[in-house]
C-alpha cells in the first residue's frame, strides 16, 4: 500500500476511535457499562472472525506459536473501550480523545526509545519532545471542568 492510502486509512481509524465511545456510551445507557463493552467486543470479534475466515489466509493456526503476552492485546483493548464508555459521558468526547492521544504519544515515544516488544528502536530527540509537549498543552487546553 502506498503512504497516502495508509495515511487515509489511519485518518478513518482516528475518526472511528473518536466516534466509538459515544456510540458505546449510548448503548451503555440501555445495557450497562460492562455489558456495552462486552457487546462492542463481541460484535467486533464476530466481524473480524468473518473477515479471517473469508480471507482464505492462514486463519488462526499461528496462535499456538504466540507467547502469552502477545495475547494480551484484547485485554488492553477491553480496558480502553470500557474506560471510554465511563469517561466520555462525564468529561466529553474531545477531552477523552485529547487525553488518549497525548497518552498514546507519550507511551509510543517510550516504546520507540527502547524498541520494546521487538519493534524498531527510534531514539527520543528534541523534535519528538517538543511534539509531545505541544500535544500535552493541547490536551490541557481541551480539558474542561
Q: What is the pLDDT at residue 62? A: 85
Per-residue pLDDT for the chain (145 aa), expressed as one digit of tens each?
799 999 999 999 999 999 999 999 999 999 999 999 999 999 999 999 999 889 878 778 888 899 999 999 999 999 999 999 999 999 999 999 999 999 999 999 999 999 999 999 999 999 999 999 999 999 999 987 6
Q: What is the pLDDT at residue 57? A: 80
How far, rounded to the nearest angstrom, does the alpha carbon of residue 133 sit from its chain's CA centroid?
21
Q: What is the pLDDT at residue 72? A: 94
CA 24 – CA 57 distance, rounded (Å): 31
* Cell output for 45: 470479534
CA 48 – CA 33 distance, rounded (Å): 23
Torsion of CA 95, 6, 45, 91, to 10 degrees: 0
Q: What is the pLDDT at residue 145? A: 66
Q: What is the pLDDT at residue 24? A: 95
Amino acid at each position: 500500500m502506498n503512504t497516502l492510502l495508509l495515511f487515509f486509512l489511519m485518518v478513518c481509524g482516528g475518526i472511528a476511535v473518536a466516534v466509538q465511545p459515544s456510540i458505546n456510551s449510548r448503548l451503555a445507557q440501555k445495557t450497562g457499562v460492562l455489558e456495552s463493552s462486552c457487546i462492542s467486543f463481541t460484535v467486533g470479534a464476530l466481524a473480524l472472525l468473518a473477515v479471517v475466515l473469508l480471507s482464505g489466509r492462514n486463519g488462526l493456526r499461528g496462535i499456538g506459536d504466540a507467547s502469552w503476552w502477545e495475547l494480551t492485546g484484547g485485554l488492553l483493548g477491553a480496558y480502553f473501550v470500557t474506560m471510554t464508555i465511563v469517561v466520555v459521558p462525564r468529561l466529553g468526547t474531545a477531552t477523552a480523545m485529547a487525553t488518549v492521544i497525548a497518552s498514546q504519544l507519550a507511551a509510543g515515544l517510550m516504546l520507540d526509545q527502547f524498541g520494546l516488544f521487538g519493534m524498531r528502536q527510534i531514539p527520543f530527540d528534541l523534535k519528538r519532545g517538543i511534539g509531545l509537549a505541544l500535544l500535552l498543552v493541547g490536551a490541557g487546553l481541551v480539558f474542561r471542568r
